[in-house]
Every structure is written in C-alpha cells, then in structure tokens.
Structure 1
C-alpha cells in the first residue's frame, strides 16, 4: 500500500490555541490514522479506539460549550480539524462530523438539566453518537417519516425503522426523530435514545462501495421506552431542530470532501513527480500540469467557500444558503478531483495498491449524504427565488 500522510495545508487560524489544535490533529493523523487506514478500510474495521483517543484529546466536542466538556472553538476552526482528519481517513473525519451532528439537538435545544446530565459524557466522556432521521421510505422527503412515539404516562414508546444510520450498531446514543402528532413536519419530535435501550437493535451493516470502515445500518425501534426527560425541545419541534442541525452538518460534509480531495491531489502530485515516461517525469507534461492546476484551484475555492459560511455561522448570521452551496460545490469537487487523480496514476490508479481508487469510491457518497446535491440546488434556489409553486 502507498498511503501517505497528507501534505500540510497552509492554514490561516485565528488563535495560537487553534494552531496548537491543528498541530495535535496532524500528529494523531500521522501516527494513529494514516498507517492503518488502507488495511482497515479494506477489511471493514471500524476504528473505535481512534474515536476514544479523539475524545480523550478534547476533539469530539470542539464547537460546543466548555462548561459541558466542549472545546469552545468556532466552526471556522472545527471544520479545518475535520478536513485534516478526512484527508487522513474519511471514516474518521465523517465520523466526527456525524457525532457533532448527533450532539447538536441536545447542545442547542436541550434544557439546562439535560445538558448537565448528558453533555459531559457526549462531548468528552468517550461516548459516540448517531443521527437517526432517514427511513427506508423517507430520505430526501424526511418530513414524511413514519417512526412514531406515543405517550405512556411519563414515558414515550417508540416504534419504527430508521435507515442509512452512520454508526448504526456501534454508537452509544442516537438522536431520533419520531412522529408524535399530525402528518408533516409539525408533528415530529426529537428524542435522545441510549443505545442500550430495550427494544433497540441494529441490522447488519450495509455493504458499500466505499467507507467500508464506517458502519451504516438500519435501526429498529420495537417498543423502545424513553422517559419524557429525554425528549429534546418541545413536542412538534423536532423537524425544525433536524433542519437546523443539517445546516451545520452540511458544512462538516463540505470540509470532509475537501479533505478527501486534498489527499487525492497530494497523491497525484507525488506520483507525477516520481513517474517517468519518455525520459522525463510526467509532471513535466503540460496536459498533466494543467490537470493538477485545475484540481488545486477547485480545492482552494471549496475551502474558501466552506470557511466563508463558517464565519457567517460564527458571527450569528444566516448561513443556510451558503452551507448548501459549500456542500454542493465541495462534494462535486471531491468527485472530480478524485476521478482526475485516478486518471493521472493511470493503471496504478485503478489498483488497490494506491489510495486513489479508494478516494474516488469514498467521494461519491459525499454527494448523497445529509441532503443529496439535487436537494442542495433546491435549497439554494429557494433562497434566490422563493419556494416552488407560490
């Protein structure tokens, strides 16, 4: 295998603390993630010990309140941490993004008592989260979900099936969206469900073309009983919470996409410098140099776009449109760049001896998760010209 540590991107970080944080992440990536990434992805091994290390290092709760074990870091910094981790191994970068997404409802909409009780373990106590919104019959049309929660005294009893759940079967808690009222978005409520709840089980992980080390599975809720103290927000507020979480989550996917694209570019540049044809390095041929220049330009544009959206978020300004644009552009960029990287490596790019083919397989899913890129275009258009059928 020819996995290499990603080249060091020249980052513009706002504080010395942020610079130290990136240095820590790079050390972890170089020592603990990159050396085993190819082998573990090939065998489908989930690196739980890496997430334990990230938690112990203070990296699982970066954008959340230090009062509860978070890192008090702006999204501008958190997303660059994600990019570094995704460049080393997408299973890890995406896993951190999903954990942050799963923690959002409690951190942003939980009561003070709920936050005191649960957030320290979630942000710095080694727990790992999953986000359960999608279902077999409701993916892009998430508001039509069928999982139902019915009140029974001081508890809720939840029945239904969730689908495409990252960390399904390995998470310690699930943020579950379930119907508690009328059809449509106003009848959905959010719940914090522990993984050991009776009646909760995960199916066998899906067999995927990429991200084999990151388990994706259906989640079955068969009479799962949770106390009302685990209801997050008001009844009927769950869909609004879910959408708000996805605005931030899309920035996480954008950063992960740029990480994968950067890793692919690094691999292509390294190969082009070493590979010789017709008596010289192929990096000397203009056609290939133009390909590399285009790849690098697309990556820099994507990085600037996700950071711009993050700064809006950090300033408390609306950023949903920019988040959709970042997710759209960065994931499309990752697909183009990884495809070009395979082309530059030629036959070697099509073999598992080099990581370029893995990057290409992994990039594809980023155009699908947390809202397909067709959905992102719909979101952007609504901000420009209003909803359809006015």
Structure 2
C-alpha cells in the first residue's frame, strides 16, 4: 500500500514582504506486486510462450526484464521452464496435454522486495497434418492432398517461403479429415499447420512444389556504327542475337525483356523449342571510356504454371575510339590531382575551339564531357566555365591549348577547381514575426 504524507510549508520573502504556501506530497515505495495469471491453450512447441512478469508491477509500474529475479518455488515440471531474468515461460514438445500450475517468486534486484503468484498453463497437442504433393502439369497447377485433420471445424495456417513470422500468411477454413490445397508453382516451399476448434495448433508440415519451368538464353553481340562515321559514339548500338530455349513441357507466351536494357519484340516459344530474337543495346559514354560494353537483360515469360525468368548477358570489346575525356572536379587538397574523395563539379560549360575557329559551348550536368576525333592534325583549345551555382560565373584559368588526339585512345584531361571557386548551395535567413503554431526566437 502506498502512504501519503502531507506537509504545509509557509514561504516568506523578506525583501518583498509577500507570502505564499506550497503543499508537498511524499509517497513511500509500494511493495512489489506479483499477480495471478492464467494462460490457456499453450501449443506444444519449444520456444518462448509468454512472460510471468507481463502483469506484475513495482510501485505501480511494469517490472522491466533484467530488473528482477524470478524463481519457481512449487509446481516444477521438467518440460516447463521459467527464465530467471526475463520471466519467459517455455514449453517443450515432451509435455503431455493438460493443465499445470506453477507458483513463482519475483524479487527486485535493487532492494530485495519480493512477492509470489501462481500461473496456470493449459496445454494441448494435436498431430501435424499429412501432405501428399501432386506435381503440376501444363494444364493444372500443383496441389497438396492434406490428411489427418482434426474432427470438427478447423483452420489451416499456410505460410509460403520465405517464412518471416510463421503466423499464417493466409488461412483456409473447413471440416472433415482431408482437404485439397491448391499451391502456387512459383513458390519454393510452404509450411502448413492446422488449428482445431478449441484453438489448439499443430506443428507444421512442409511442402515443396517442383520447379519445372526451365528457360535459358545465349547472346551473340555485334557492334553497329549507326551513323557510319567510323567512330564509336554514344547512340551507336550493339545488335544482340538472343537465343531463348524453352526446356519445359509447357508452351511459353509473351517472352520479352523486362528492363529494356536490350530491346527486342515479345515472342512465343513452344515446349521444347528455341527462338532467336535480335535485340538492340544503346552504347553509353561509360561503355566508350571502358572500351567494353557489358550488361544484361531480364527475360521473362508466361507459362500455364506461372512466370518464367532468365538473364541474357553480353560482353563486347568496342573498336577503340580516339578523342578526349574532359572532367572538372573540386580540388580539395589543392594538389591538382583528382583523388577518390574529390567530387566532380556539375552544372558547368566546357568550351572548345577546333583549329582556333569559333568557340563551341557544351553544357554538362555531370561535370564530364567526351569529344571524339579521327584526324590527328586537328588541334583543340579547351577550358571550363562553372555554372551559375558555382561562384556566379567564375572562369577557371586552367586551359588546354593545342591538344590533339592519340590515335586509338581516349585521353583524360582534368580541370581542378578550388573549393572556394565553387559554392554549390547558398542559404539566406530572414527574420519574421511570430506565427501561431511556431516558436519564435
């Protein structure tokens, strides 16, 4: 029981001659309270079931795990254990169905206050259902013939793989000793349990539908110079001849690329046959810098049993272009070298002159620019102008003069910028009157 002690204190301020009173209430510690608890229908499975501390209190507040010690003082059972730190009760599979009562004591670790209570546990046990898998055909999906179901009404708890919680991803209700359960052929495995009319739950039985929707692919890539200029440019293509083979016993329809990395028309493939389609891949600037185009496309299709999936890979060495790769970066350490932790400077303009002719401006939103050339006699002057968000029109004094290509090579040319030259973000703060709902400082 909590006890209240009330004091009336008079506070006198000699300076101002004012007087006020305050009431102070002191509360002593209430004793620890362990409360009777009854849990019905504990399933015979090894694992934590509940905590005896879940309705116990100390000073009216819940008892936190680790702050008290729990011990069983009567009703010990080899198949029922109570964690002395957390109060969690575990029931093992060896426990027979029935009702069991335990008396436990809980003591606070910091002061030794203790109390006792009883917990009543009612356990049940029903056998897991039996399952006979019937494999799919091209006309019918797989299903499981379930038997050994309890008498009366029951509920099937069905969990498809992956098994996150095992709490019944979906349920099926019925009665009788058997049931036909339709399965999804795209699911790797199922766990199935049964709950009887009293709420007693069985352990699970596993069912694994066979995966017989086999599809493979092989790709032969060929470079295609789209504008016939003899240079590998962005926008040139790779023609991919993709041979897709249907190894299943079912016809496949609407076989197509999922991500449009390689673009090709949808096709149908009869059972046991193969089809070759021509797909188009667009060459990127990074492919040119790498000297190699390498990627893949997800190939999907539909069979009577569900979806099929494979990957079409390709790798192709590109005819090496000649030209320049220009890039601007924040030279944080001031050494003029581009380090891994120094970012590129976006939103700027690369300006070049070929053979001292009129200047050409190329806006870049990435801080990079590729210029391709085939004639070794042509020379270039190039500089970089940061955009409006970089130092309000600051022009770098770093200029490349009279550079020319190395045949069959793309050469790198960097524009180092001091961080003071490039201020990406500006923040302006203005005072304002207080607005309802917001604090004003």
**Common topology (TM > 0.5):** no
User: Quick check: which has more Rg, 1 or 2?
Assistant: 2
Give the TM-score taking structure 1 as reference length: 0.19
Higher helix proportion, which one? Answer: 1
Higher strand proportion, which one? Answer: 2
Q: Which has the higher contact order (CA 8 A, sep 6+)?
A: 1
